[in-house]
Structure 1
Amino acid sequence: MIARAFALLWICLATAAGAQGFAGLGTDADGFALPSADSALTFPADHGAHPDFRIEWWYLTANLRGDDGQDYGVQWTLFRSALSPEAGSGWQTPQIWMGHAAVTSASTHRFAQKLARGGIGQAGVTTAPFDAFIDDWQMRSTAAEGDPLDALTLSARGVDFAYALSLQAQGPLVLQGDQGYSVKSPTGEASYYYSQPFYDVTGTLTLPEGDVTVTGQAWLDREWSSQPLANDQQGWDWLSLHFDDGSKLMGFGLRSSTGAHFTSATWITPTGQTTAYGDGALTLDPLETVEVEGRKVPVRWRVTLPERDLKIDTEPLNPQSWMGTMFPYWEGPIRFSGTHSGKGYLEMTGYE
């Protein structure tokens, strides 16, 4: 009953938001804090929650190879959303938490969702030690020294899957945009955004067919804002790419009602040096659209970044990687080839 009430509340919020950005992220943020280009990120404090901002997430994706010879993708996400800028405690807190987890293979896409109210111990994030959780889903630091995100354990469970993974960072944290200030529109909407894209992963997937031992790479994104989209932006197409030579690329395009993309990208060297690229440097062109849960979704893309001589075509592991959650979206592992090759993740929102 409680979960159903939370679901109705989220749906009402989305309905009230109307067309103002995917999931209402383009609505006015009266009373909430707003990102500033003059504020520097501070660690480990910024690994924790920022309740004076309206929306926030801890978002991890992993490209894995099983001992059964199959490729897999794993997603683990914790969202925090504030209903109002006022403070509160216990059941009076305005903080709502939502978790998404998924395991994807070439033939199946399994996902689960959890909802919780903050302030009653059901979900939250602590920084000392770092621990992000919702019920029994958990992302916990195991780092003995250095940054808390250098070593993590990760677990989640759905009706027909579970996973338990260990992650070890092989490179530094990466600040996206201008030292962590990530602009999202021509009118200046923005978020704070940083990543840990250098994880090596080991662990176990528990599937109906049995346990599968996996290894691979993972990417953690941390982002928070109060109005990250302009009110005419209807969704985004986002990629995290692991190149075979050890380099990385984060890139996204935010779609306006006119169909135009506002783009941003960060090139990351194998040792963690970054080069940021503003609007227009990255281009995203759909190559193939398929029907996914009654929607037309572009599951193959051509990605170009001329300043890096990059021209690649992406291919989904499973074109039907639809997250049928409260705010539905497409999220799944991809391969890519062309001037560069490797694996990564693709997320697409706002396709209705």
Structure 2
Amino acid sequence: MRALIGLVAAVGVAAPAPYPVVRPGIVLRFPADHGAHPAFRTEWWYVTGWLHTAAGEDLGFQVTFFRTRPPVDPRNPSRFAAGQVLFAHAALSDPKTGKLLHGEKAARAGFGLAQARKGDADVAIRDWRLRRSEDGRWATRVAADGFALALDFRPTQPPLPQGQGGYSRKGPKPDQASYYYSVPHLRVTGRVKRGDVVAAVTGEAWLDREWSSDYLAPAAQGWDWTGLNFDDGSAMIAFRIRRKGGGTLWTGGSLRRADGRTTVFGPNDVAFRPLATWRSKATGAVYPVSQELSVRVDSGVRRWRLVPMFAAQELDARRGGLPVYWEGAVRTQGGRGYLELTGYAQPLAM
């Protein structure tokens, strides 16, 4: 975050324009909502998944692009004003080495350096890019120190609106929320480069899209989030916003069955129980990398055990002035997905 603060501070312009408030009643419209919503303060395009090589290896990957609108007066005539700032993370989980390879980029929009286009998904920072084609396929290309990803994603299911038709509460106040939808069960093909070795891969991925102006309550420490693709074609998101000092501030998520029936989880329907922790030697943070997830569904409680591909999947982006968090591939009974743990190194500010 320090890199973003530095970019904003360099502008030195007061009297920022207000941000739009997230409210219920949204009607998601595609392909427009795949594209950027530059009036909102924060937005991201997030893809994670499991990959499989011809040699029988399993790999995990993450590609995330963030867009933020700093508090800069839009009337500022300077072409150097940081009206929009983009940053991105990419990571590759390799259980053979037990290491998470990762990289990051950041730049203000414009000058041919970075863009987040409206109308459909096309977001880029220099040579890193995530875009959607008119035929509905998504593609990403990123190259970082020690690895590169060239992946194509074909949707097999329609978008899954989260919360109330895409309005997803994140706290006790109605405006502590985001507009949010997911695209689970993306079919993946492409190539992964590790060092000088290139391997063809196939797999399955999950896409998340969120935009917001007031994402977290002041009392929030961070969140535990999981997105799971199940073998039977169903898909589930579950999250909890953790309270500073301990406990849960808010929960939510949804389960869409293979036949399309969807259950939306309320603020008392989700619980995470730590089963095993891992301490980062780099940051000292202790993460609950294996958890039992309980959700209230079908007049009962169902439980899933989330087991990481391996423990050391912390993304330490302090070198680029960006946050530290744990983002890891996980297995569960009848499915696979990703688990994200934020606010364990320090409280998350958004």
TM, length-normalised to structure 2: 0.87
**1:139 aligned residue (109, 116, 130):** 130
Q: Distance in 2 between matches of 1:215 and 1:49?
A: 28
Q: Which runs of 4+ in 1 moved over 4 A?
A: 10-13
Superposed CA offset, 1:88-129 (max 9, x none): 573214211101001111122000000100132311222456
**Hey, what does 2:19 align to over in structure 1?**
32
Q: Distance in 1 between matches of 2:73 and 2:207?
A: 29
Q: Distance in 2 between matches of 1:161 and 1:215?
A: 17
Does 2:235 align with 1:248? yes
The structural deviation recorded for 1:143 is 3.5
**1:155 aligned residue (115, 129, 141):** 141
Q: Distance in 1 between matches of 2:158 and 2:165?
A: 14
1:81 to 1:130, Cα distance in 2 relative to 1, 3 A: closer
**Hey, what does 1:212 align to over in structure 2?**
199
CA contact (8 A) 1:266 1:277 kept: yes
The SS at the match of 2:214 is coil
Does 2:54 align with 1:72? no
Aligned length: 326
Superposed CA offset, 1:136-168 (max 9, x none): 111122333xxxxx3112111101000111110
**Hey, what does 2:340 align to over in structure 1?**
347
More helix by percentage:
1
CA contact (8 A) 1:52 1:85 kept: no
The structural deviation recorded for 1:306 is 3.5
**2:288 aligned residue (289, 292, 298):** 298
C-alpha RMSD of matched pairs (Å): 2.2
Q: Distance in 2 between matches of 1:143 and 1:30?
A: 34
Superposed CA offset, 1:218-239 (max 9, x none): 1111101111110010100000
**1:47 aligned residue (4, 26, 34):** 34
CA contact (8 A) 2:316 2:323 kept: yes
**Hey, what does 1:321 align to over in structure 2?**
313
Q: Distance in 2 between matches of 1:304 and 1:5?
A: 36
CA contact (8 A) 2:34 2:119 kept: no
Does 2:48 align with 1:90? no
Does 2:252 align with 1:264? yes
The worse-fitting range, judged by mean Cα deviation, of 125-134 and 302-311 is 125-134
Unaligned runs of 5+ in 1: 14-28, 145-149
**Hey, what does 2:272 align to over in structure 1?**
284
Does 2:331 align with 1:335? yes
Q: Distance in 2 between matches of 1:11 and 1:94?
A: 9
Letter in 2 for 1:101: A
1:69 to 1:11, Cα distance in 2 relative to 1, 3 A: farther
Does 2:117 align with 1:121? no
The structural deviation recorded for 1:272 is 4.0
**Hey, what does 1:23 align to over in structure 2?**
none
Q: Distance in 1 between matches of 2:25 and 2:60?
A: 37
Does 2:222 align with 1:235? yes
Unaligned runs of 5+ in 2: 11-15, 346-350
The worse-fitting range, judged by mean Cα deviation, of 123-132 and 152-161 is 123-132
The SS at the match of 1:92 is coil
Q: Tell me the percent identity.
A: 36
Q: Distance in 2 between matches of 1:327 and 1:125?
A: 21
1:42 to 1:7, Cα distance in 2 relative to 1, 3 A: closer
Superposed CA offset, 1:174-223 (max 9, x none): 10000000001123311100111131001110002611221111111110
**Hey, what does 2:157 align to over in structure 1?**
171
Q: Distance in 1 between matches of 2:36 and 2:18?
A: 18
CA contact (8 A) 2:8 2:70 kept: no
1:129 to 1:55, Cα distance in 2 relative to 1, 3 A: closer
**Hey, what does 1:26 align to over in structure 2?**
none
1:50 to 1:66, Cα distance in 2 relative to 1, 3 A: same
